Each structure stands twice: as C-alpha cells, then as structure tokens.
Structure 1
Amino acid sequence: MQKWECPCGYIYDPEEGDYENGVEPGTPWEKLPEGWVCPKCGAEKEDFWKAD
C-alpha cells in the first residue's frame, strides 16, 4: 500500500495505521477518518504527498 509523507517528516504507513488516534492497521489513505491530522504536527491530509 502507498505511504504518505507529511512536511514534518512523519510517514503514514497504511500497514501500521495510527493506532493512538483510532486508525486500525491496514487502513488505506483513502479510508482515513474525515478529521484525521498528522499525529506529530497536526497537518491536514491535503498537506501530505505520496512517499517514495
């Protein structure tokens, strides 16, 4: 699954999810909750880009 990178350097990995914020492992980027933000800096989803 595609990983996504935040300007702060945090990488959202769908295989890991974001358990601390209620996102189960295996959750693809497109299925993240509406109000989800970067757990490190609070950036919104539109600030992320596809990681290599």
Structure 2
Amino acid sequence: GYIYEPEKGDPESGVNPGTPFEDLPDDWVCPVCGVGKDDFEEVS
C-alpha cells in the first residue's frame, strides 16, 4: 500500500514536503486508492 512520507509530502494533492501526517488537510485522501486519513495505520 501507499506510505505517506512527510519529507516528500504529496505535491500532486497540494501537500508540501515537510508536512507531518497529522497536519494533512481533513479532506486529504490516499493518491493511490482514495481512502481518507482515518483509514491509515502508523508504520515504523
């Protein structure tokens, strides 16, 4: 699945590099499958 990387951001969705996951807009969705932030799981 898609792993959000804060250092890369998500420029195609208007999210600048350096944006922490918790600071993503509430309406941000996965660029691969379209699920919202609430459906993401933290990985280490």
TM normalised by structure 1 equals 0.80
- Count residues in correspondence: 44
Aligned-pair identity (%): 61
Q: Distance in 2 between matches of 1:46 and 1:21?
A: 17
Root mean square deviation of aligned Cα: 0.6
Please state whether the residue corresponding to 1:39 is helix, strand or coil.
Answer: coil
Unaligned runs of 5+ in 2: none
Higher strand share: 1
- In structure 1, the gaps of 5 or more residues are 1-8
From 1, 5, 16, the equivalent of 1:13 is 5
Q: Deviations over 1:32-51 (max 9, x none)?
A: 01100000000111110111
1:49 aligns with 2:44: no
State TM-score, norm by structure 2.
Answer: 0.93
Return the match for 1:26 from 18, 22, 35: 18
